[in-house]
Chains A and B, each alone.
Chain A
Amino acid sequence: MKASLQRTTWITRVTFLEAVRQRFFAFLVILGAAMVLSSVSFRVLDFGHGELKFIADFGFGGMFLFGSVLAVVMTAQLFFSEMDNRTALTLLAKPLSRTEFLLGKFFGTWAVLGVFVLILSSLLGLVMWGREQELLAAAEQPGKIPVQFSAGGLLSFAILQWFRLGIVIAILLAVSAAARTFLFAVVMGALAVVAGQLQWIAQDAVLKPTQNSLYGAFLWVTSRLIPNLQQFNIGDALVLEPASVPVDAVAMAVASGGFYMVAFLVLAALIFRSREI
């Protein structure tokens, strides 16, 4: 058990090092950071919403968009580079199980996404704090009621985003374990993210009575097989109105995220076990 943990940790370390050195990672971090920082300049386009809400939405959008792209492309890239460059041949000929290899890839990529979320959340927190101070100073002006933001709420949101990206990585590994090409894995992964974002539609439909039992069964399976990625997008409430969020909402979302990560990793390991390298 200890030896297995050590081998997984080594794969994780090398995967992390490989990922953070990629220009693609640096490029998306810069793009995401630029989007967060530029939110202050675009706040005039707030369409009547509070400034902090606009800034927060802008930052959340950047984190969601670039984080999803990073999770999909980087996971597939890290997996297929091992296959195409035949480093997997060298590694899997050693007393390293395929499950350990896959888990190492997962944790290495998840750690990189953790760094990404941490950087963007920290930047967003700084931008919001700076603007909050300005708004507090101008609070005496008529018609300006400043909204304060919750740093704890931002931290909770960052954790939720990290778990959401963890699910995406696990799905990508399951797809990559079966896929023959990088492009197929990326396209299927992107579709999975879209399906996860729209999963609530299936959940709503399940609640409505239907005469067609086949359709009902399809909706039931769909609503459980596809993770609901929307449940992680409660940043507005967490950061700007933390009191409105039920105490166990974050814990439930994290538990759900953990469940889907484990489920998709088990699926990935089963598929990868029979893959010919």
Chain B
Amino acid sequence: MSSAISVQHLTKDFRIGIRGLKLRAVDNLSLEIPRGQVFGLLGPNGCGKSTTLKIILGLVTATSGNISILGHPSATSEARRRTGFLPEAPYFHKFLSGRELVSYCAQLSGVDPSKVDEAVEDALSLAAMTEAADRPIGTYSKGMLQRIGFAQTIVHDPELVILDEPTAGVDPVGSAAIGRMIHAMRDKGKTVVLCSHLLGQVEQVCDRVAIMDRGKLVLEGKVDDVLARRDQHVMTIESLTPAAREAAEAALCVHGAKVTSITHPRRSLEDLFRELVTGSRDA
């Protein structure tokens, strides 16, 4: 089976200024994104992530290289029919209601007219937007905008979902909700490509990550593989008395091991925040 996205030797140069100076945004990038996984594309601002996504979606033309989506050349109608895209900080027509927007996007995405209503309800339900679906988009909070954006992304049941900074400007509760939606997509067998600056979230939701810098791929692999430090171990111990600690250190020393640090485990501030404000969903 072909990859969800296959990028081969992709290069993109932008011409800037009257003299047409060349700015290389993506430099000979090759990447295989397997199907059915959540893939994180990371990198600092200006590293070429968004340009890569736009080229994949056919919104920008590549200077050189080949891209295929689910076995079809990118930018073809067939590839787009099977892809859903949520841009960074999405903006939608404020006068439409959430339901009208999702229905509009379903029609543009080629959903069978007789199945549009059902598809819209499913997408709104998955995005937890059913209750607010009939309100004008102009009255939505930032988190709701992202969720309705997510609903329009998945309304045509795409096999590949591309999310560009889906949690930018969203509070931790909304961010967690989007994380759950991403997991739900993976559970349905979809491929999700996530472009984000929030490394903590990427670590939580992604199976694989790629890191780009200055247009080049600098690292790619499974999250567990790239983060694990194989030469060190962490033990979590309850009721550790000073005597027990000394005994444990001595026992380890006999085997040539050395304890380099002993700390208390910490929960993340995000976990604490979510624990404290649970129930105050982004409504």
Contacts and interface: CB of A to CB of B under 8 A. Distances in A.
Interface of A: 3, 6-7, 10-11, 14, 17-18, 21, 85-87, 89-97, 274, 276-277
9 contacts: A7-B107, A86-B89, A89-B54, A89-B59, A93-B83, A95-B108, A97-B77, A276-B54, A277-B54
B273 interface: no
A96 B59 CA distance: 12
A89 B58 CA distance: 10
B235 to A, nearest CB: 48
A91 B106 CA distance: 11
- Interface SS majority for chain A: helix
B80 interface: yes
Given A93-B85, A94-B109, A10 B80 contact: no
Given A6-B107, A14-B93, A95 B80 contact: yes
A94 B104 contact: no
B93 A87 contact: yes
B90 interface: yes
Nearest to A84: B91
Given A85-B91, A86-B89, A91 B57 contact: no
Interface size, B (range): 20 to 34
Given A14-B96, A276-B59, A277-B60, A94 B91 contact: no
Interface string B65-88: 000000000000110110101111
Contact of A91 (B54, B77, B86, B108): B108
- Lowest 10 CB-CB distances: which A-B pairs, in order? A93-B85, A85-B91, A95-B80, A89-B87, A95-B77, A95-B81, A277-B59, A276-B60, A93-B57, A94-B108
A97 B58 CA distance: 11
Given A276-B61, A277-B59, A93 B80 contact: yes
B86 to A, nearest CB: 8
A274 B61 contact: yes
Nearest to B57: A93
Contacts of A93: 57-59, 80, 83, 85, 87
Nearest to A97: B77
A97 B88 CA distance: 22
Contact of B108 (A7, A18, A86, A89): A7
Nearest to B113: A6
